[in-house]
Amino acid sequence: MAEDPAASLADRLKALLQYPLPQHALSRLTYWLTRIEMPGFKDWLIASFIRRFGVDMSEAVEADPRRYPSFNAFFTRALRASARPLALGRDSILCPVDGAVSQIGAIRDERIFQAKDREFTALELLGGDTDTAALFADGMFATLYLSPRDYHRVHMPVAGSLRMMLHVPGRLFSVNPSSTRAVPRLFARNERVVCLFETSSGPMALVMVGALNVASIETVWAGEITPPHRSGVRRWEYRGSEVELEQGAELGRFNMGSTVILLFAPEWVQWEERYLPGAAVKMGERLATRL
């Protein structure tokens, strides 16, 4: 794994400013603003966002920004199938999102690498669920960061049957690279939704991590999981259900952007060597190969 820089003074100062923020209140405000359907406001907001982040609307099913009823509808826009061809294959594990590799590698001594001098445990990430964490001891992980300009739907890396879902409440620190370097145990502190699947590549956990201004996380089978923000871990069991998703199928979406963490059990997959920290990724690319 490539050596990462330690948090700089600027990183630490930016992170420090986030601690006293009313993170959930700001995210509720974002939730409200991004669903306003007043044409003048939402069209201005969408156009400003496209200019600032250089969004390529030619990839979208609906290329006209004015046709979206709200900013959130634009932000979670569908893409044309040809814009994200799937690297399908019997042994192929697809990248679930557009974004960049934050970190990728093996889980060592039950710990997941976040940045230099920053780690967290799989048990913490999975909301203290010891049985689920045991599945991924000495397994593999990939942390994928979605920037504001990226496509924000999440897709299945491999076909699977849903077995369990957790909603783990927490903080809403930013998950940009600066915060990742500076905030200890960032992904195990932020609010998140854990989805456990049984797949032909062994057990797979896909964790959707919330962040500042990520006003909502939803899945295709349960709809909006958050908000509202609650205390205490919530758990849904799906064993014996018929929630089965094909490879490349939409799993869920971020209403505003964040991070996805993939976990696989040991001796099931091997990451593609070209994906080092900082590498750009697109949904549907081959991220790993089944062993």
What is the rounded CA–CA span in Å between residue 259 and residue 104? 13
What is the rounded CA–CA span in Å between residue 58 and residue 73? 16
129 as an active site residue: the answer is no
How much is the CA Rg of the chain, to the nearest whole Å?
Answer: 18
Give the Å distances, CA to CA, from 120 to 108, 184, 199.
Answer: 11, 8, 25
Q: Which of 70, 155, 179, 201 is catalytic?
A: 155
pLDDT confidence of residue 255: 81
pTM over 0.85: yes
Cα torsion 180, 26, 189, 288: sign = negative
pLDDT confidence of residue 133: 96
What is the rounded CA–CA span in Å between residue 260 and residue 253? 10
Exposure string of 147-175, with b = 16+ CB inside 10 Å and e = fewer, is eebbbbbbbbbbebbbbbbbbbbbbbbbb
- The contacts of residue 17 (CB under 8 Å, 6+ apart) are none
Residue 228: cis peptide before it, omega within 30 degrees of 0 = yes
CB 287 within 8 A of CB 104: no
pLDDT confidence of residue 102: 95
What is the rounded CA–CA span in Å between residue 51 and residue 33? 19
pLDDT confidence of residue 3: 55
258 as an active site residue: the answer is yes
CB 96 within 8 A of CB 156: yes
pLDDT confidence of residue 2: 47
* SS3 state at 150: coil
Sheet holding 216-219: strands in order across? 153-155, 250-255, 216-219, 223-226
pLDDT confidence of residue 215: 65
Consecutive H or E run containing 28: helix 23-33
Write out the chain's pLDDT in tens, 291 residues: 445 677 888 989 999 999 999 998 998 999 999 999 999 999 999 999 999 999 999 999 999 999 999 999 999 999 999 999 999 988 999 999 999 999 999 999 899 999 888 999 999 999 999 999 999 999 999 999 999 889 999 999 999 999 999 999 999 999 999 999 999 999 999 999 999 999 999 999 999 999 988 768 999 999 999 887 777 899 999 987 789 999 999 999 988 768 999 999 999 999 999 999 999 999 999 999 999
Q: Which of 4, 11, 98, 150 is catalytic?
A: 98
Q: Name the DSSP class of 193.
A: E
What is the Cα 87 distance to its own chain's centre? 20
155 as an active site residue: the answer is yes
Q: Which of 27, 70, 102, 258 is catalytic?
A: 258
Short-list 128, 26, 36, CA closest to 75: 36
What is the rounded CA–CA span in Å between residue 281 and residue 291? 21
